Every structure is written in C-alpha cells, then in structure tokens.
Amino acid sequence: MALPEPSSTTAALVTGASSGIGADLARQLAARGHNVVLVARRPDRLEALAGELRDAHGVRAEALACDLTDPDATDALPGRIEALGLEVSVLINNAGYGSAGQFSDLDVQSEADMVRLNCEAVVRLSGAYVPKLIARDGGGAILVVASSAGMQPIPGQATYAASKAFALSFAEALHTELSHLDVAVSALCPGPVDTEFAARAGLADAFDGVPRFARVSSSDCAKAAIEGLEKNKRVVVPGLAIKGVTLSGRYTPRAVLLPLMKRFYPV
C-alpha cells in the first residue's frame, strides 16, 4: 500500500490549504508530482499558493474557495473538481479550528460551526470520495487531521477535543474498513505546531509556554503525515515528546486524568 502514483488527470484535494499544516501538505504533495486542489475560505491565499506550486513543481494547482461549515457548499465541491477535469486520488481532510475557555463562556454558534468543520465536513467529503477511491485502479489515500487533543477530553477545550476524538475514531475505523481495498487512511495527531491555529483558538499564550522540544514545525508535521500515509499507518504522531503525552492521554483512566487536567491545564 502506498500513496497513489501522481498523474496528469489526478489530484490531491487539500482542505485548509490557505495556511499552516494544509499549505505544507500541499507543498510536499506537489513536490512529489501531485496536482493539487487547494480549498479554504481565503481565495487570495489559495491563489498565491497555487501560483507558487505551479512555478516550483510544474503541477496543476487549482484554488477553490469554499466555506466547509456550509454543508451545501461542501457537497458541491466534488462537482466543482470534476468540472476541472480532475479525479481526486488523495483526500486530505485538514481544515479545522479550535477554541479555548470554559464551555459556558464560549460562543455556541462558533462551537457548533467547529463541529461542522472538524467533523461533518470530514464525513461529507469522505462520503463523497471513499466509494470512488475503492473503485479506482491504483487505489487512493485519505488523511484525517485529528490532534493529540483528540486522545482525551480536555476541560477548557471541550468542543475542540471532542471534535478531534471524533476525527481520530472515524479515521481509525475507516483505516480498518479500507486497508484491504487499496485505500490508505491515516489519522494525523500533532501536538503544538506553529501555525495560525493558536492565535485563532485563543491559545497563543499557552503555546508560548510549550518548550521548543515539544513543538514541531508545520513542514515537519506535513512530512511525517505524508510518510505515515505512504505506509498506511493508522495513527501518525509527529515528534517524540508528543508521542509520550498522547500515550498517557489515551491510556490513563479518566478518573485520574480529568481532575489533574482541571487543575493544571492552562485555560
């Protein structure tokens, strides 16, 4: 099992490609010769990256602005890509955002939109492409960008951690369903990565307090993700330090873990 071979008529669809991990995933897939379809809301950013990738790698790079919290817009994406004459062989479900604070203080609409983006859009796009990837000669690959936050509940990030637990569980189940059908599925579970994520989530101060050795760059994170997907790893955790943290988050009994998190978590 490997990533599908690039070809002139196939493409990797990368959501959340206007910044951070998604932009680096698109860069590294284009460097391997994959055409890319770049999706996010900010068209200027997408057009700039598409131009960069065409110039650097001679691939087709298409920018499609889309708000993935809108189910109709999400469902319309596969038709827009087909109209470009491109077949998706690699689906990168990366777009996402988080929030921080006591749930009772947070904006409920934004929390619900987060679930639409981090969970529902992943299901809608996977639903559109899984049957096609199973059917295609040469197989397919799906990356679901979850998070180390999905390994356990997090008081102070209740919705975000739950949304990433969903993403992780969904990806692990799809991995198991599809492995024998030549479709690789990996969940990417990074710890802190320096992108626009922390500022948007209101976690910039918390991220600043994380020691350097526990952080990975966006490009190292993307590299680990693509190498993991290439090997059809079920779960990819970039960086040794975070591997330890995720293991304890995943396997420590909740009755022990949650009071500790309530006491020490920096929100």
Ligand X SMILES: NC(=O)c1ccc[n+]([C@@H]2O[C@H](COP(=O)([O-])OP(=O)(O)OC[C@H]3O[C@@H](n4cnc5c(N)ncnc54)[C@H](OP(=O)(O)O)[C@@H]3O)[C@@H](O)[C@H]2O)c1
Would you tell me which residues interact with ligand X (CB under 6 A)? Answer: 15-22, 40-42, 45, 67-69, 94-98, 117, 145, 147, 190, 192-193, 195-197, 200
Residue 173: Cβ within 10 Å count: 11
CB of 134 to ligand X, least distance (A): 25
For ligand X, the closer CB: 35 or 147? 147
CB of 195 to ligand X, least distance (A): 3
Tokens of 53: 């990738």
The answer to whether 4 and 139 are in contact (CB under 8 A) is yes
Q: Which DSSP category does 152 fall into?
A: S
**Could you give the CA distance from residue 85 to residue 9 in angstroms, rounded to a whole number?**
7
The answer to whether 173 and 183 are in contact (CB under 8 A) is no
CB of 98 to ligand X, least distance (A): 6
Quick one: which of 134, 225, 226 has its CA closest to 181? 134
What are the residues facing 92 on neighbouring strands?
A: 14, 143
Whether 160 sits among the annotated catalytic residues: the reply is yes
CB of 9 to ligand X, least distance (A): 25
The residue assigned the tokens 């990738």 is: 53
**The amino acid at 46:** L
CB of 245 to ligand X, least distance (A): 12
For ligand X, the closer CB: 5 or 44? 44
**The amino acid at 101:** G
For ligand X, the closer CB: 182 or 224? 224
Residue 232: Cβ within 10 Å count: 19
**Could you give the CA distance from residue 237 to residue 30 in angstroms, rounded to a whole number?**
23
For ligand X, the closer CB: 200 or 234? 200
For ligand X, the closer CB: 40 or 158? 40
Catalytic entry in 97, 129, 160, 251: 160
**Could you give the CA distance from residue 190 to residue 34 in angstroms, rounded to a whole number?**
24
Catalytic residues: 160
